Amino acid sequence: MPKLQGFEFWSRTLGGARHVVAPMVDQSELAWRLLSRRHGAQLCYTPMLHAQVFVRDANYRKENLYCEFCANDPEVFVQAALLAQDYCDAIDLNLGCPQMIAKRGHYGAFLQEEWDLLQRMILLAHERLSVPVTCKIRVFPEIDKTVRYAQMLEKAGCQLLTVHGRTKEQKGPLPGPASWEHIRAVRKAVSIPVFANGNIQCLRDVERCLQDTGAQGVMSAALKSPSPAEGNLHNPALFEGRSPAVWELAEEYLVLVRQHPCPLSYVRAHLFKLWHHTLQVHQQLREELAKAKTLEDVATVSRALRLQCQEDMSRQKEGEKPSGGLPFFHWICQPYVRPGPREGSKHSSAGSKRALEEEEEEGGRLEVLSKNKQKKKLRNPHKTFDPSLKPKYAKCDQCGNPKGNRCVFNLCRGCCKKRAFKESADCPGHGLLFKTKLEKSLAWKGDQPRLQEPPPPGPGGPGGFPEVVGSAVA
């Protein structure tokens, strides 16, 4: 069967999907994808997978519906995609991740200026894969450059384009609104399906986005995304247009986790998002959830939360608002809009973490400190976070990861271990002593005394037993 392309791929393979759940770091496991599919999502992405690790580590590979990779090497990208193509409907190349890990690894949105490299990656994948290749991108500040970028990817072989209407600089607590104008311009300029991403908090936003942009579908909610609101994570029933009770979806999710296990850290992270507003009211349950060590512990917290919410519902009178600024109807799934640093730090004291979110002038530009940097700043007020003063890491000659400073092969530990084992060599820098261990093993074998050879067979027969000369029996 020939490989489907463009709108034919979208309509036949993807069933004309309009409601899409984005790839989420450590939050797109099978249980959450199934929950989202039950409640209106028509297409769910896997988490972003590192192509290099996917190729070399069999444990990293999992069965997925729509597999997304980050990569910066055409051959590595295609090798990873070839391993996954039999288990998914399409291979997506992530060109939209703006996080620092993407900058260090040189992938995601930090490749958007390298058009020659991207052309080679998409073209090679389009030629060699049996499933379509798609891309997820961010926009440039200029609409015309964004349009040319999208057209370049389409020409290289991209069959579907997801456009996040923010630049790679729009991240953290100051993302700003996504530009649907950019998305609309891209949709008009290309002849492949387009998914819009950004500014989605409820089903009404989905319908408005589809109308304003002309896109074929809308993607919602990436964990740690620069979006000020994370729709799917706070309400998996977003695409149904419902806002159910928080315990209803939490209990349904825990049932799915028992059927399709995943790390407990994923479960806790989902419930912290899902219960966000309720945990502002019942903070003792927040602590109990954080301390939970097993899935049954989490289920116990879930039951306690349900009882607390039902009591709050029974006490809530119509039109009566809670005092102290507590969320109104906190037991209902609803989006959470993160405040910017100014709004969040307005009532904070000078020495608090919130105060450290205020702007700092570094290298002639305003920068907002992350939570980890805030903690480091409190411990060491004189510490600088100027990236120009950070040490530059040399790259591994094979995979591009940071190499060991004392590695004799100029490789990272993973690549060094493979080479040292293959060549029976030592690398003191990584503590790998294959050559030394082999030499010790051979020396030990050489020092062992040889076993004494058995005497030749005697006249008693082939067993060599001595002949009986006399008998003790008279």
Distance CA 400, CA 76 (A): 12
Question: Helix and strand tally (H, E) in the chain?
Answer: 19, 13
- Comparing CA positions, the residue from 403, 413, 406, 402 lying closest to residue 104 is 402
Which residues are the active-site residues? 97
Check: CB of residue 301 under 8 Å from CB of residue 167: no
Q: How crowded is residue 473: how many other Cβ atoms within 10 Å of its Cβ?
A: 4
Local structure of 209: helix, strand or coil:
helix
| Contact between 39 and 236 (Cβ < 8 Å) | yes
Task: Measure the CA–CA gap between 453 and 190, rounded to whole angstroms.
Answer: 84
Please say whether the beta carbons of 427 and 416 come within 8 A: yes
The DSSP secondary structure of 110-151, one letter per residue, reads GGTT-HHHHHHHHHHHHHH-SS-EEEEEE--SSHHHHHHHHH
Measured distance CA(322)–CA(332) in Å, rounded? 15
Q: Residues 6 or more apart from 162 whose CB is under 8 A from it?
A: 20, 92, 96, 134, 135, 136, 137, 194, 195, 196, 197, 219
DSSP code, position 322: P
DSSP codes of every residue in 12-43: IISTT--EEEPP-TTT--HHHHHHHHHTT-SE
In 255-336 the beta strands, taken as DSSP E runs, fall at: none
Q: What angle do CA 174, 179, 181 make, to 5 degrees?
A: 165
Q: Give kind and range of the element (H or E) at residue 93.
A: strand 91-95
Q: List CB contacts of 24: < 8 A, sequence separation 6 or more.
A: 32, 47, 221, 222, 223, 233
Mapping DSSP to helix (H, G, I), strand (E, B) and coil, where does residue 431 land? Answer: coil
